[in-house]
A and B are shown apart, each in its own frame.
Chain A
Amino acid sequence: MLFLHAAEQGLIYGLMALGVYLSFRVLAFPDLSVDGTFPLGAAVAGMLVLRGFSPYLALLGALGAGLVAGAFTGVLATRLRIPGLLAGVLTMIMLYSLNLRIMGRPNLSLLGRPSALLGLARALAAPRGYEILVAAGLFAAFVFVLLLLFLHTELGGTLRAVGQNPEMVRALGTNPENLVVLGVALSNGFVALSGALASQYSGFADVGMGIGTIVAGLASVMVGEILLRPRGIFSHLVAVLLGSVVYRLAISLALRYGAALGFTASDLRLLTALVVLGALAAPALRTALRGGEA
């Protein structure tokens, strides 16, 4: 059960991790707006479902809201020349208020309401008990394939070049700023979609559910990189999804057995941040250690 639930969550949150991969790794743009767009997706999809719209339409609504919010961050960072980190923080804070307005209260219960995830699971001829896993896998596969194909198009290839050498892209006749806006929009679209699915999975949307999204996303990206050492785009995307599953599994194990060591659920974010800190600091620490030995 623990493994199954971790895999389900890993795939659902994997969409978010793919979004973070797109902004952080492909565009080299550390985008904090995801902490706001994850609950934004949940809020928009939740309200649409509560108003009687189809849960699939609700997912599209969440995707659209995420795209708009991401484009907003992109425009702040490029046209208005606000440093990327600050642009993301501003969007995130604005979304906190906006999410409360959308929901009208701090949380929504979606229990017993139509859910795209459960609906798809029921419609599938999957082995008993694995329906949700397969449904979550389908959503993850959809975004995975979309992103994989996109990054191999002319436009997507140019987007990759923006993260490595924006000046070159400019010299090749494309304004890199437009691509930053596009990339950050797409990234947040995926994150919002992930938030909507997560709310349908757990049966509630909460204004605080986005706190630490960026750190969890980064942890997934880095865990995947450590495990698979990916080289191409395909293996990178696989690594992100794998990293997301392993990360959720680690969280589940920590919750299950951490209590014996004195950890509580409230320590999770601290632990996650430490994992990311370790991964980020590893190259510097390695150099320092080697320097110390020599």
Chain B
Amino acid sequence: MLELLGITKTFALGAERVVALEDVTLALGEGEVATVIGSNGAGKTTLLNVIAGTCRPDRGRVRLAGRDITRWPVHRRAPLIGRVYQDPLRGTAAQMTVLENLALASRKGGRGLGPLVGRRKRQILGAAVAQLGMGLEKRLNERVAHLSGGERQALTVLMATLTRPKLLLLDEHTAALDPANAERVLKITEDLVREYRITTLMVTHRMDQALAVGERLVMMHKGRVILDLGATEKGRLRVEDLVALFRRAGVSDDALLLVQNGACA
């Protein structure tokens, strides 16, 4: 489904050259769910940016669903890709209603002069939002600005998967939520991804999450993939093992604690 071939990306930081990604090759099968973990500056977010198209690699190819999308602009590849960021504010239009936001997400690409929300859409989208189990189906006409962070992020996850994209990119999407809401949003994400068999790449800084979710585990360090485990090996792994693996790769304990910020916007 997703193929990354020899992706390299360098940034200029003042006079210095920083290698954000170095010869990253990675393939995900259809419906496969992989978690990506790594220390601060490991290149996780840059990797997602290269896939989503907000960042063009210096070298390498990105293939998705059999097509080479390396040079496609963001909006062209958008119908194939759903993305959820850490910040719940980034995925929705605050002054528009829950229903309007869902309606925008329900159709990617072409925009016509038909009504944004009709009675049919209200029914379909109301039923879709009901599966979140948050009672948002009763608040369809409320502006998203009035929703809590957890509600807003759950809505964003639903919006990102509404058109059944080929690939879902999750960029620490539960990191800004309180533990209870983080759990809920993660559960909602897993349910949606499983139900629609969406190939998913989930960046996280929480090792327990990285182990619990999905059947692949990718560990990154200094722009390289240093570990790529399948389901069987991943199932045997525990958090302590992961910490030990990080130490062996030369990651300091401080760096392990850091929540990273990606370059390349």
Identify the A interface with B (CB < 8 A): 150, 152-158, 160-161, 164-165, 167-175
**Closest CB in chain B relative to A231 CB, distance in Å:** 8
Question: In whole angstroms, how far apart are the Cα atoms of A167 and B103 in the complex?
Answer: 17
In the bound complex, do residue B115 and residue A173 qualify as a contact, i.e. CB atoms below 8 Å apart? no
A residues in contact with B73, CB < 8 Å: 175
If A171-B91, A173-B76 are given as contacts, then 9 extra A-B residue pairs at C-beta distance below 8 Å, sorted by A number, are: A154-B103, A155-B112, A155-B113, A160-B93, A160-B95, A161-B93, A165-B92, A172-B108, A173-B108
Q: If the complex has contacts A154-B107, A158-B111, A164-B94, are A172 and B116 also in contact, measured as CB distance less than 8 A?
A: no
Q: If the complex has contacts A153-B114, A154-B113, A154-B115, are A173 and B93 also in contact, measured as CB distance less than 8 A?
A: no
**Closest CB in chain B relative to A241 CB, distance in Å:** 20
The answer to the question of B78 belonging to the interface, with a C-beta cut-off of 8 Å to chain A, is yes
B residues in contact with A172, CB < 8 Å: 78, 104-105, 108
B residues in contact with A150, CB < 8 Å: 113
Q: If the complex has contacts A170-B75, A171-B78, A172-B105, are A157 and B100 also in contact, measured as CB distance less than 8 A?
A: yes
B residues in contact with A173, CB < 8 Å: 75-76, 78-79, 108-109
Query: Which chain B residues in 59-86 approach chain A with CB under 8 Å?
Result: 73-76, 78-79, 81, 83
In the bound complex, do residue A161 and residue B104 qualify as a contact, i.e. CB atoms below 8 Å apart? yes
Question: In whole angstroms, how far apart are the Cα atoms of A160 and B73 in the complex?
Answer: 22
Q: If the complex has contacts A152-B116, A154-B116, A161-B104, are A174 and B109 also in contact, measured as CB distance less than 8 A?
A: yes
Question: In whole angstroms, how far apart are the Cα atoms of A155 and B113 in the complex?
Answer: 6
A residues in contact with B90, CB < 8 Å: 165, 167-168
A residues in contact with B81, CB < 8 Å: 171
Question: In whole angstroms, how far apart are the Cα atoms of A152 and B97 in the complex?
Answer: 12
Q: If the complex has contacts A155-B112, A156-B116, are A175 and B96 also in contact, measured as CB distance less than 8 A?
A: no
Question: In whole angstroms, how far apart are the Cα atoms of A155 and B52 in the complex?
Answer: 23
B residues in contact with A155, CB < 8 Å: 111-113
In the bound complex, do residue A174 and residue B93 qualify as a contact, i.e. CB atoms below 8 Å apart? no
A residues in contact with B117, CB < 8 Å: 152, 157
In the bound complex, do residue B83 and residue A171 qualify as a contact, i.e. CB atoms below 8 Å apart? yes
Across the A-B interface, the 3 shortest Cβ-Cβ residue pairs: A157-B116, A173-B108, A173-B78
A residues in contact with B52, CB < 8 Å: 171
Convert B187-220 into 0s and 1s, putting 1 for each residue whose CB lies closer than 8 angstroms to a CB of A: 0000000000000000000000000000000000
Q: By CB atoms of chain B within 10 A, which of A150, A164, A173 has the most?
A: A173
In the bound complex, do residue A165 and residue B93 qualify as a contact, i.e. CB atoms below 8 Å apart? yes
Q: If the complex has contacts A172-B105, A172-B108, are A153 and B113 also in contact, measured as CB distance less than 8 A?
A: yes
B residues in contact with A165, CB < 8 Å: 90, 92-94
Question: In whole angstroms, how far apart are the Cα atoms of A175 and B53 in the complex?
Answer: 13
In the bound complex, do residue B74 and residue A171 qualify as a contact, i.e. CB atoms below 8 Å apart? yes
Could you list 5 examples of A-B contacts with CB < 8 Å? A150-B113, A155-B111, A158-B104, A161-B93, A172-B78
Question: In whole angstroms, how far apart are the Cα atoms of A156 and B79 in the complex?
Answer: 20
B residues in contact with A169, CB < 8 Å: 104
Question: In whole angstroms, how far apart are the Cα atoms of A153 and B94 in the complex?
Answer: 18
The residue in chain B whose Cβ has the minimal distance to the Cβ of A160 is B96
Question: In whole angstroms, how far apart are the Cα atoms of A273 and B75 in the complex?
Answer: 40
In the bound complex, do residue A153 and residue B116 qualify as a contact, i.e. CB atoms below 8 Å apart? yes
In the bound complex, do residue B108 and residue A153 qualify as a contact, i.e. CB atoms below 8 Å apart? no
In the bound complex, do residue A153 and residue B112 qualify as a contact, i.e. CB atoms below 8 Å apart? yes
A residues in contact with B94, CB < 8 Å: 164-165
In the bound complex, do residue A164 and residue B95 qualify as a contact, i.e. CB atoms below 8 Å apart? yes
Question: In whole angstroms, how far apart are the Cα atoms of A160 and B105 in the complex?
Answer: 14
A residues in contact with B92, CB < 8 Å: 165, 168
In the bound complex, do residue B111 and residue A154 qualify as a contact, i.e. CB atoms below 8 Å apart? yes
Question: In whole angstroms, how far apart are the Cα atoms of A174 and B75 in the complex?
Answer: 5
Question: In whole angstroms, how far apart are the Cα atoms of A153 and B114 in the complex?
Answer: 5
B residues in contact with A154, CB < 8 Å: 103-104, 107, 111-116
In the bound complex, do residue A164 and residue B93 qualify as a contact, i.e. CB atoms below 8 Å apart? yes
In the bound complex, do residue A168 and residue B74 qualify as a contact, i.e. CB atoms below 8 Å apart? no
The residue in chain B whose Cβ has the minimal distance to the Cβ of A153 is B113
Question: In whole angstroms, how far apart are the Cα atoms of A172 and B111 in the complex?
Answer: 11
Question: In whole angstroms, how far apart are the Cα atoms of A19 and B52 in the complex?
Answer: 35
Q: If the complex has contacts A154-B115, A155-B111, A168-B90, are A161 and B75 also in contact, measured as CB distance less than 8 A?
A: no
A residues in contact with B103, CB < 8 Å: 154, 157
A residues in contact with B74, CB < 8 Å: 170-171
B residues in contact with A167, CB < 8 Å: 90
The residue in chain A whose Cβ has the minimal distance to the Cβ of B107 is A154
Q: By CB atoms of chain B within 10 A, which of A160, A167, A168, A175 has the most?
A: A168
The residue in chain B whose Cβ has the minimal distance to the Cβ of A179 is B111
Query: Which chain B residues in 89-141 approach chain A with CB under 8 Å?
Result: 90-96, 100, 103-105, 107-109, 111-117
Convert B215-252 into 0s and 1s, putting 1 for each residue whose CB lies closer than 8 angstroms to a CB of A: 00000000000000000000000000000000000000
A residues in contact with B109, CB < 8 Å: 173-174
Residue from the list A152, A157, A170, A175 in contact with B104, Cβ < 8 A? A157
**Closest CB in chain A relative to B153 CB, distance in Å:** 14
A residues in contact with B76, CB < 8 Å: 173
